Structure 1
């Protein structure tokens, strides 16, 4: 009988070595507060949808600078190259194989075995890396008044979403494509007594993205975001029923 034990040991070693590399890269919390999560085989678009639904997005930017090994999908997409989560594309770490002629037709990206980047067919099924940021929101496809949405978020998640800067605005508006209403409720509320807008999380409204800043403020108004166009904020009577965003952290 042929002895296959040496071959088995070699296979076990390869699998063990691969997962040690991945674990070292993915299971440590980064200085920026992100946690990296390795996903099972999916094509690039399925991986993006999975990450956005269950975490924050496909991994991007300099979060990858310390990662090693394996052909794993990351968040870089060729349109003019841009990251899935909208972050800046200043940091680049292309592998030599990126410059191969046959790679020019591929529009998705992956890590190579040496931890650098190359392109890949978006329809190829590979492992992928999500990241879980400190800021995470979830779209609720239920039609609720603003107050009903507030109670839903506080009971099932954390709170209605707060948007304090352009990066958070981009993260939220990326998820509006799955909304079923023309607007989605946010955590913006107008106090008629004191005459100003505030976030239900107690954040001051410094960053603003109003569609019509000069619109008259009225009692019983809350803030919603357009699900199309430029995703501007609008002031709407809070008895209207829309989808809404909850924050989970």
Structure 2
């Protein structure tokens, strides 16, 4: 019997989430604002990157109020984050790479929330307000020098601002090889800031984003909640009981139908085969830039199957067994 190759057509649905920022011009405490957002939208606004920050600024364009609550609040034990917040920058486990010196971190004086690398290539925690040399990372395409040491001492926050303006960010160290490359830049007897910092703030929607946009000399322990200052496009900590307008996030579901053509001599409507195909299609689309949050499902046709056979012009009409 001839082994026939069938041209089979079907479709799958790609669905993903997109954010919309909603300004609410009602004066509420942080807790009341959070309750309102969770009831009428999704949650208080979380900002994951510069794109989100710019979208938020667009959403409040023309607003005359000076500030509004966002969904950042100091609560729970501090966690370590890298300043470079792009999750796609880190493969599995890389964001957790640490090369602590023996006895570190020790949080001496209870104020050591930032990290330096020493001339032995090891990490130490230190005060963020201390003046240090620092190392930037440059992720621009075709750049010759990925790691750049800046010899002018600055506080950690000012060093972060400088790196973001002139390069990409303070350096992240993801593995032993990168640790060695960064270590090679540190002069004898010097410690230099890197992008690792400890932060007690959490997003209301449980986002793990490490993106922060503090105003100069902030946070200054005015309170555990955070407001966005419109004129500065930056943040300030504030007492949670202060009444402020606020910004919510609405999560919008976006759906797209993808047409799929499969060449196969098998019954591709068999569940196990459809599952394997869907996994391969999803991985291919992620490789091409689709968000990993997007979900693919097969679209069942009105006749009860996903795929239908299209007759090859050189063959008789065929159907899947």
TM-score by length of 2: 0.21
- Structure with more of its chain in strand, by fraction: 2
- Structure with more of its chain in helix, by fraction: 1
TM-score by length of 1: 0.25
For the pair shown, the structure with the greater C-alpha radius of gyration is 2
